[in-house]
Amino acid sequence: MRARAVALATLASVSIVGIGWQLGSQAIDVSQSLTAFTGGTATAATVTATTDAAAQAAATAKAAADAAAAAKAQADAANTAASAQAAADAADASTAAANTAATAQAAATAAAASAAAQSGTFTGAVVQTQFGNMQVSVTIANGAITEVTPLQLTNRGGRSVAISNQAAPILRSEVLAAQSANVQSVSGATYTTQGYLRSLQSALDTAGF
């Protein structure tokens, strides 16, 4: 290779990899920005949802709490596949602290969001993926999504189970924060995400949400 070819090739490669890096870090930012607020649980307890602004704050606080829990779950899940389920449970437990905020938020958004939405628990369709079936149920109260429960997770191969257990809590908290199935894909768990969100969307459709 001539010197100028080497120089140009290096320049091209660095820019291409740089663009990839940039795109990638945007994706990571979205999934991690939620973890930026620490101590969210503490603030959440003091919130009373009377105004839109307060509701907004509550939503943020709750999201932070959820995400913090999810991040913890993620870290735990990565350590051993066996402890993944336990970690997810831990995540659920720690989010209970933020439930006050969640209710507040639900109440606040209820008026703005679809008033027609029914309350109750709705089961989504079974979505088939290369790695097994996905199915979730969604709980809607007062026009807000208050809980998403996985009924079936991708389970073809132990690796797939580990991925699902890692991704499900993250997806749950993202969905609760966004109040829709329109959330960022979990990096490294593309198929789980697709199945999860499609099943969720069908449940939301059933609920008329």
Partner 1 sequence: MSLDTRTTRTGPALLHPAYKKRMRLADTLQILCVASVAIVIAIFLADGGAARFSTPADVFTSLGIVAGLVGTDLLLVMLVLAARLPPVARAFGHDQAMAVHQSLGKPALYLILGHAVLLITGYALAENVNVFIEAWNMFTGLPDMPLAFLGLALMIGVVVTSLVVVRRKFRYEAWHAVHLLAYLSVLVAIPHQLSVGGLLSEGSIARYYWLALYVAVAGSIVVFRFLLPVVRSARHQLRVASIEQVAPGVVSITLTGRKLEQLRATSGQFFIWRFWAHGLWWQAHPFSLSSAPSGRGLRVTVRGLGDASRQLPQLARGTRVSFEGPYGLFTENARTSPRVVLIAAGIGVAPIRSLLETVSFAPGHATVLLRSHSVGDTYLVDELTDLCRVRGAQLRVIAGKRPKGVSTWLPADAAKAGITLKKIVPELTSSDIYICGPRPWTDAVVRDARSGGVPKKQIHYERFDW
Question: What residues make contact with partner 1 under the rule CB under 8 A?
Answer: 1-2, 4-5, 8-10, 12-14, 16-17, 19-21, 23-25, 27-28, 31, 78-82, 130-131, 156-159, 161-162, 187-191, 194
Q: Which is nearer to partner 1, 64 or 167 (CB)?
A: 167
121 membership: H or E segment, kind and range = strand 120-123
User: To the nearest whole angstrom, how small is the minimum distance from the Cβ of residue 193 to partner 1?
Assistant: 9
In whole angstroms, the minimum distance from the beta carbon of 70 to partner 1 comes to 14
Is the Cβ of residue 122 or residue 131 nearer to partner 1 in the bound state? 131
Q: What DSSP designation does 117 have?
A: P
How far apart, in whole angstroms, are the C-alpha atoms of residue 202 and residue 209? Answer: 10
Alpha carbons 173 and 101: distance in angstroms, whole number: 14
How far CA 126 is from CA of 12, 45, 163, in Å, comes to: 45, 37, 18
Find the shortest distance in angstroms from Cβ 75 to partner 1. 8
- Least separation in angstroms between CB 86 and partner 1: 14
Cβ atoms of 45 and 202 closer than 8 Å = no
Cβ proximity to partner 1, 105 vs 160, nearer residue: 160
Length reported for the chain = 209
> Which of 39, 188 has the CB closer to partner 1?
188
CB atoms within 10 A of CB 11: 10
Question: In 3D, which of 156, 165, 209, 205 has the Cα closest to residue 186?
Answer: 165
Residue 150: phi, psi to the nearest 5?
-75, 130
Task: Tell the smallest beta-carbon distance from residue 21 to partner 1 (Å).
Answer: 5
Rank residues 163 and 175 by Cβ distance to partner 1 and give the closer one.
163
* Residue 103 burial (C-beta neighbours within 10 Å; 0-12, 13-18, 19+): middle
Give 10 or 46: the residue with its C-beta nearer to partner 1.
10
For the bound state, the minimum distance from the C-beta of residue 95 to partner 1, rounded and expressed in Å, comes to 23
CA distance 30 to 44: 22
